[in-house]
Structure 1
Amino acid sequence: MVTVPSAPRAASAGDLLQLLRDGEPRTKAEIAALTGLSRSTVAARIDALLASGFAMPAGEAASSGGRRPSRVAFSPLSRLVVGIDLGATHGVVALSDLAGTILAESAARLRITDGPESVLDWAVGETLELLADVGRDADDVLGVGIGVPGPVEHDTGRPVNPPIMPGWDRFDIPAFVRRRLPVTVLVDNDVNVLALGEQAMFWPDADDLVFVKVSTGIGAGVIMGGRLQRGARGSAGDLGHVRVPVTDGAHSPDLEAVASGPAIAASLDGSTSEDVIAAVRGGDARAAEAVRQAGRDVGEVLAGVVNLLNPSVIVIGGSITRAGEHLIAGVREVVYRRSIPLATQDLTIAPSRGGESAGALGAAIMAIDATLDAESVDAIVNGRF
């Protein structure tokens, strides 16, 4: 489920682990042939990985004459990572092994407006309880990934002017979490981690994917060439502040002002997104058309994204998709009409299928990719962690 780097010309124990992360057991001779390293060098580095727990014995290979050679494989349960998905009104905490398999998770209703200390105390407390439930402790945790519903300066893990997160601006999330979990802590906006989770669970072969969340706000997670694209300062994917093209000379509104959950509710004289969803499910034709029009507005912006980036998959998620197919129907109606034929020839526009686990899984994958790179593994193997 985790993106595995292509085989390098390995130079360290960490580099050898990158070869093994595809899950295929190999003999030391096979690894030597793949890397060009001597067998003695490979043996020493594999022994270091075995001692650290990152690799494990995996039986014996067929003999070509003489003693059968032993094989080694990646050991995903040697450490754990934590994925935390925080939304405006929910939180999910998941424990994952190093291959991206969720071992345990916990979800609760919460309010991001309660502030960082309260919400993060809950998330860390849930983490420690889950660890106890699976018979592990904090020493087994390699890293923590966190998704939050606002823009994040990825290098520091601090939210920057998050519109629906009062009290969180510039709050040092990694430092707060490390008080009780002294490991690598990474933070990103929730749409980026949702994109990682959705790709891992349902589109592992899609190297060019855009995840669009239509909820209280509107944002996108952009994966191009198999890598999440954050931009120069971490603000890539802010669809909500892109102007919706208009043809009648009127002022072009921000997409969020016309197609977000609150905007749809306001157009129907409703108070919340939940009112809109309930109305559509209850057969209200006016509400259904309002959601479809929101989809068309989203499609107007996405048509430009499709022409510019040429993704193979667009996934539509967020609370408004719970109103049925109306939102996605509106998106498809415009994207396929407005985008150039070559860009839409093999384009799939699909609803999110990840449910509440996708964000936490994506946050876990973010932590895995950051802590299992060759340099980080070498630091652990050599006792510098």
Structure 2
Amino acid sequence: MRTGDLFELLKDGRPWTRAELADTTGLARSTVAARIDVLMRLGLVAPFGDARSTGGRPPALFALNPAAKVVVGVDVGATHVRAVLADLSGTILGEEAADLQVSDGPDVVLGWIGDAAGRLTTLAPAAQLAAVGIGLPGPVEHSTGRPISPPIMPGWDRFDVVEHVRRSTGVPVLVDNDVNIMALGERRAHLSDVDDLVLIKVATGIGAGIVSGGQLQRGAQGTAGDLGHVRVARAGDVTCRCGNTGCLEALAAGPALAESLRKRGVPARSGQDVVDLVRAGDAAAIAVVRDAGRDIGEVVATMVNLVNPSVVVIGGQLAGAGEHLLAGIREVVYLRSLPLATAQLRIESSRAGGEAGVLGAVALAVDHVLSPAAVEAASLALLES
């Protein structure tokens, strides 16, 4: 067992004695002591009070030192960017936000991120910046962190986001699409005991972040969960922005619902207008949202049968429509899914809400910093120096 593997036992914050670590791992106590020393020199582990003595000197306790390093988590939206500084426990230490258009291009947006990271790290001068996590509003190739043909991000296609931000920050950069990031954030903040969940973002587009067996499932190229371009029966020959016809997004995303209301003579320009109308009790808005829920439910029912999650979380702008959207989704999911798959299934609104993106970006960065591979690499570098 390497130093990085030993650290896996310590990173949840629970204190351990050297003897407990030796008993659990089967390593000699001298080996455990040497590896604890390396982790302490890295700053990742620190003494944690004293354990109860059974006679003689009390054994020392050791635990994760969350203040040793910090990360920056960034949520990039279509019209905004938000960055937060967090310690290794995920506690937010500071934040910055700006009204930036993602369509302004990568140089503008990523330049702001680099500058914001520099300003934020001054809030924790004793801690070392260890990583940056970024969520982008478009498809991301997971192996490279590059956006691939993102529909609302002109100039970003295959742009080397990782290298651009790494040059300005000097640390590893992790990039994923926004809905995967939201799924991580929702689970870390509110569903840490759930190993199988799906978060569905319903906004300008529709996508899903899938957590199965406690691990985010990205698929071979990072496109797992792209529900918005699944064909649904009611969409017929409606043209989608992807170029195909009959896509769920073309029928049930925010712009489609606003257009449907305009055809009924109800002034609505955006998904937020639709949500506001629903909250105001507008009957037409409630009807189109309920129908959208049924359309989404048609696709979610298939996903429930395939993935068998314990919880389906509805997030994104249209989640603000509340029970009207959820009711439509539930109606079809419980009708069309297998009884065993829905026996204990919960379908609920996001509790993290607008915080899910930055919380997930922080989780992405922290998980990298505390991974066995990263800790092992840092340990070897320390021993060789």
Range into which the TM-score falls when normalised by the shorter chain: over 0.9
- Matching residue's letter, 2:209: G
Post-superposition shift, 1:347? 0.4
Q: Which of 336, 350, 353 matches 2:351?
A: 353
1:84, distance to aligned residue in structure 2 (A): 0.6
Question: Aligned to 2:101, which of 99, 111, 129?
Answer: 111
Partner of 2:149: 161
The answer (yes or no) to whether the contact 2:315–2:353 under 8 Å persists in 1 is no
User: For the residues of structure 2 that align with 1:136 and 1:144, how far apart are their CA atoms?
Assistant: 18
Change (3 A) 1:193 1:248: closer
Aligned ranges 1:19-168 → 2 under 5 Å: 19-136=9-126, 140-168=128-156
**TM-score w.r.t. length of structure 2:** 0.93
| Contact kept? 1:92, 1:357, Cα under 8 Å | no
| Aligned counterparts of 2:236 and 2:229: Cα–Cα separation in 1 | 20
Partner of 2:189: 201
* SS in structure 1 at match of 2:98: strand
Question: 2:378 corresponds to which residue?
Answer: 380
Deviation at 1:130, TM superposition (A): 1.7
Structure 2 gaps, min length 5: 240-244, 263-267
User: 1:223 maps to which residue?
Assistant: 211
Q: Secondary structure at the match of 2:169?
A: coil
Shift of 1:264: 0.6
**2 CA distance for matches of 1:129 and 1:160?**
30
- The amino acid across from 1:120 in the alignment is L
In 2, Cα distance between equivalents of 1:43 and 1:247? 64
Instruction: Quickly say closer, same or farther: Cα 1:248–1:80, change in 2 above 3 A.
Output: closer
- Shift >6 Å, 4+ stretches: 247-252
Residue matched to 2:324: 326
Aligned partner of residue 356 in structure 1, secondary structure: helix
User: 94-103 or 301-310, which moves further after superposition?
Assistant: 94-103
**273, 277, 301: which is aligned to 1:279?**
277
Q: 2:261 maps to which residue?
A: 268
- The one-letter code sitting in structure 1 at the alignment partner of 2:309 is P
Query: Cα distance, 1:31 vs. partner?
Result: 0.7
Q: Measure the CA separation in 2 of the matches of 1:328 and 1:124.
A: 39
CA deviation map 1:349-381 (0-9, x unaligned): 010111322111111111122222222112212
Same amino acid, percent of matched pairs: 55
How far is 1:110 from its partner? 2.1
Aligned partners of 1:262 and 1:273 also within 8 Å: yes
CA RMSD in angstroms comes to: 1.9
Partner of 1:76, secondary structure, is coil
Cα separation, 2, equivalents of 1:209 and 1:233: 20
The one-letter code sitting in structure 1 at the alignment partner of 2:130 is L
- Contact 1:92/1:356, CA 8 A, preserved across alignment: no
Q: If the length of structure 1 is used for normalisation, what is the TM-score?
A: 0.93
1:310 matched residue in structure 2: 308
Q: How does 1:354-369 map to 2 (within 5 A)?
A: 354-369=352-367
**For residues 274 and 40 of structure 1, do their structure 2 counterparts lie closer, same or farther at Cα, with a shift above 3 Å needed?**
same
1:38 deviation in Å?
A: 0.5
Alpha-carbon contact 1:193-1:362 (below 8 Å) kept: yes
Asked if the contact 2:43/2:68 (under 8 Å) is kept, the reply is yes
- Tell me how far apart the structure 2 counterparts of residues 192 and 268 of structure 1 sit (CA, whole Å): 30
Question: What is the rounded CA distance, in whole Å, between the counterparts of 2:255 and 2:121 in structure 1?
Answer: 38
Q: SS of the residue aligned with 1:376?
A: helix
CA shift digits 1:314-363 (9 cap, x unpaired) = 00011112233211111111111111111101000010111322111111
- 1:63-85 CA-to-partner distances (Å, cap 9, x unmatched) read 22222211111111111111111
Paired amino acid for 2:327: A
Amino acid at match of 1:243: R
TM-superposed deviation, 1:136: 4.9
- CA gap of 1:229–1:283, structure 2 versus 1, over 3 A, is same
Partner of 2:229: 241
| Distance in 1 of aligned mates of 2:41 and 2:111 | 34
Q: By how many angstroms is 1:57 displaced?
A: 0.8
Q: Is the 8 A contact 1:93 1:360 kept in 2?
A: yes
Secondary structure of residue in 2 paired with 1:195: helix
Instruction: Report if the CA contact (8 A) 2:11-2:370 is conserved.
Output: no
Q: CA deviation digits over 1:150-208, x for unaligned, max 9? A: 00001111000000111110010011101111111111000000000001111111100
Residue aligned with 2:312, SS: strand
Match 2:170 to one of 182, 195, 200: 182
Amino acid at match of 1:353: R
**Mapped partners of 1:345, 1:175: distance in 2:** 46
* Count of residues in correspondence between the two structures: 373
| CA distance in structure 2 between the partners assigned to 1:39 and 1:23 by the alignment | 21
Partner in structure 2 of residue 3 of structure 1: none
